[in-house]
Amino acid sequence: MGWPTPQEYNEAIQNPRTAFADAELQAGQPVLTPLGLPRPITGAFASVYQLACPNGRTYAVRCFLREFGDNQDRYAAISAHLAQARLPYMVNFTYLANGIRVNRQWVPILKMEWVEGESLQAYVERNLHNTPALLGLAEQWVQMARMLREASIGHGDLQHGNVMVCNGQLRLIDYDGMYVPALTGRHSHELGHRNYQHPQRSEVDFDPAVDHFSTWVVYTSLVALSVDPQLWKTFQGGDECLIFRREDFERPGTSPLFQTLAASADARMRALAVVFQSLTVLPPYQVPPIDGEVMLPLPSGRAGWIQDHLPATPPPATLLPPEGARAQEAAVARPAEPAWLHDFLGPQQRQPASFGSDLTRQRVALFLSVVFSAAAWLAVDLAGLSLMAPALVTLAAVVGSLSMVADGYRRDPTVLAQRAARRDLKQVNTRMRGVTVRLAQQERGRSQIERVYQRQRARFEGGQQHDLIVEKAALERNERALQQALAGVQYQRDRQRRLEAEAVAQLETRHKAHLTTLDQRIVALRQTETFELEKTLRQRQTQFVLSYLKRQTIEAAIITGIGPAVKQSLRQQGIVRATDIDAARLAQVQGVGDARATALLEWRRRIEALARQTAPQDLSKIEETLIRGRFYQRRFSIEQERGREQRKLQKAIEETHARFAFTQQSADQQQVKVRERFDRKREELRKRHRERRARLQAELADLDHQVAAEQASVQQEAHAVQQELAQLTAQRAVAELRLRQYEGIDFSSYVKRVIWVYQP
């Protein structure tokens, strides 16, 4: 018996008392469709039924659609580890080896607590314009990821259908692909939902890091939707995804979604998009956990993006701990959100940087320069001095003031920080150019290896192809020689067959004339017999009609226009019966005109027609037997003679066939020997060329191995460079974000701030 189908599960579960071995499930009733049938939720690996039990509990019964030999061991390990971890996100379940009986065979099921709530997709769609709800869920998502990682648990298929939101709290269902430490070394039975998993994930990616990429997908989606709810409609959220799809991960550089996020008006969203996009180039096992530290040199300073949108009180359990004396206590009492997220995602309302130095000296110097200049020009009017002196004084005062202002600008901490940020960005860009050059060099090296490899491979494959051509030509020559030899044998066989056919034809010709004569005599006898039977039958019918006509008298008949007088005249002429009526005789009877003659003739015709209808249609058995008996002896004698002639011919033909059979047997043996000789030659040719191609294939395999090793080395180096490039990309995003707060910090702004004494 094969593994049950969904239809077979449907039929079995309609009667829980006989379907289940578990007493609690036996008393339950499945939730039905409007048609009165069990309502399943069918996925790739299981059909799930909801059963309501009399004790008030409701269970989800997972019926497996595929058979995995280690299911019981896996679920036992998962159950034991979850019981020890006691995480609030998990659902209690029991693996029942003898779970449900289908077609008289017990198959396992999973008995799981039914979770009342809404799927992650439904919750997000309902709260698209509720920014605090989405960011609160994102914060809770990070906390859940941290707790799963600390418990060494990997769900394996984090996606909208396996994440429920119950009263605002996250719950996880469907543990078919879950990893726990006891399963280390095994492979995964599933690869998860394509729109939430790393495109390079395979069955061997089965360890505590299996959820790292999918947690990034969900977190980035929640944050992006909190910033721009229109992304849901634009990128068809809810269609088997939140907003990201596998195509975005496979081609992030051309992804419209990544391009939209990178062009977001929100600087933190742009930074997060750059970080997430940079992670798509990493292999699955190197994607960092969302609740850990990204291996990048991050800027100092922590600020909460989420806190900008959530209510101030009460603070969620995962907010950053307060500063000062409460920091250590809060860190112990509740987990802090990962610092690196805040390093990337700064506050929502970041205050622009301002000049931080004391401007008193610059303002005093500016004031004194104005006073001295004014005094110099006043002295011109009072003392009658020339204009050159006050002009020089004013110029000196202005130059001195500007020099002091410029010196203050150069020493201002904010300006120094701005220069440092620009220097950091320049250094990152310089490093990125160098890394890009190295990546291009590695690509050229890889291409060079590939070109050399292709040339060498083409040489080996050309040798193999040439050998195939040579082998084909040799086999064709061998085949032509075989056909020629067989044609010679076949010619001899055909010649013997022609001689045999001619001998048989001569025999048939000699006996054919006699057989034909006998056949003709038999046919003639049959025809004569048939004619005799028909003639006798016609005679009997004619006699019957004459007899009937003789019994019909004119006197007793009622004939139109024939009265007693006419009948008397007819009797006088001897016309008494129907047989006596004749047109010539009627013409001689006085008183019988044309009309009466016609009536009499018509009466006779009717009587005769009636007689023919009742006349016998077959001869009597005695008459037929007598006639057939006369012809049977004559025909039997001829048929015996024909049989003797036919047997004589058949015997002569068999003797002729036997005489030529030996010759044909010799030709057959000769044909077999010819085939065997050329078959041996063909196999020798094939063996010789097969060995030669095997040597070429072995050399090609060695070449493949060498090139694979070189390519692996180059790929490893390229991967390291790609990682470095991804880190530098993220660093550049952070540097640009830091530099953006110094917009408006320039010398003219500094001068204005010095002049505007009362500017705060």
Query: DSSP characters for 104-169?
Result: TEEEEEEEEEPPPSEEHHHHHHHTTT-HHHHHHHHHHHHHHHHHHHHTT-B-S--SGGGEEEETTE
What are the residues facing 61 on neighbouring strands?
Answer: 49, 111
What fold, for 117-323+331-350?
Transferase(Phosphotransferase); domain 1 (1.10.510)
Q: What percent of the chain has pLDDT over 90?
A: 18
Work out the average pLDDT over 672-691.
89
User: How large is the average pLDDT for residues 256-280?
Assistant: 88
Q: What's the confidence (pLDDT) of residue 379?
A: 65
Highest-confidence segment of 125-129, 265-269, 363-367, 726-730: 125-129
Beta bridge partners of 166: 169
Q: Is the pLDDT of residue 530 over 80?
A: yes
Q: Between 715 and 93, name the one with better pLDDT.
A: 93
Q: Where are the domains of the chain?
A: 1-114, 117-323+331-350, 362-380+396-411
Check residue 756 and give its pLDDT. Answer: 66
Average pLDDT over residues 674-697: 89
More confident residue, 513 or 16: 16
Q: Given a cut of 90, is residue 608 above it in pLDDT?
A: no
What pLDDT was estimated at residue 337?
39
DSSP assignment string, 640-664:
HHHHHHHHHHHHHHHHHHHHHHHHH
Model pLDDT for residues 645-654, shown as the tens digit of each residue: 888 888 888 8
Residue 745 vs residues 405, 426, 737: alpha-carbon distances, Å:
14, 18, 15
Determine the pLDDT at residue 227.
92
Mean pLDDT of 679-695: 89
What integer pLDDT is reported at residue 353 of this predicted model?
64
Q: Quick one: pLDDT at residue 213?
A: 94
Higher pLDDT, 400 or 347: 400
> Higher confidence at residue 294 or residue 199?
199
> What is the pLDDT, as a whole number, of residue 122?
93
CA distance 413 to 177: 55
Average pLDDT over residues 465-475: 90
| For residues 253-270, average pLDDT | 89
Q: Which of 202-211, 382-391, 693-702 has the lowest mean pLDDT?
A: 382-391
pTM as predicted = 0.49
Query: Is the bond preceding 314 in cis, omega lying within 30 degrees of 0?
Result: yes
**314 pLDDT exceeds 50?**
no
Q: List the one residue out of 182, 177, 167 whose CA is nearest residue 137.
A: 167
Q: How far apart are CA 336 and CA 319, in angstroms?
A: 6
Query: Over 70: is that where the pLDDT of 548 sits?
Result: yes
Question: Six-digit token pair at 447?
Answer: 């291409």
- In the predicted model, is pLDDT for residue 300 greater than 60? no
The pLDDT assigned to 179 comes to 94
> In this structure, which CATH number among 3.80.30, 1.10.10, 3.30.310, 3.30.200 belongs to the domain 1-114?
3.30.200
pLDDT of residue 180: 92
When mean pLDDT is compared across 70-74, 81-85, 469-473, 477-481, the lowest value belongs to 70-74
- In the structure, what pLDDT confidence band is assigned to residue 349 with cuts at 50, 70 and 90? very low
Least confident interval from 109-123, 278-292, 298-312: 298-312
- Confidence class for position 121, pLDDT limits 50, 70, 90: very high
Q: Taking 90 as the threshold, does the pLDDT of residue 154 lie above it? A: yes
* SS3 category, 633: helix
Degrees (nearest 5) of the Cα angle 406, 407, 410?
85
Q: Are 630 and 563 in contact (CB under 8 A)?
A: no
Q: Give residue 444's identity as a one-letter amino acid code.
A: R
Q: From 237, 190, 199, select the one nearest 218 (Cα to Cα).
A: 237
Do 287 and 198 meet the contact criterion of CB atoms below 8 Å apart?
yes
Alpha helices by DSSP H, 320-412: 327-333, 339-345, 360-383, 388-411
Q: What is the mean pLDDT of the chain?
A: 81
Nearest to 187 by CA among 197, 198, 179: 179
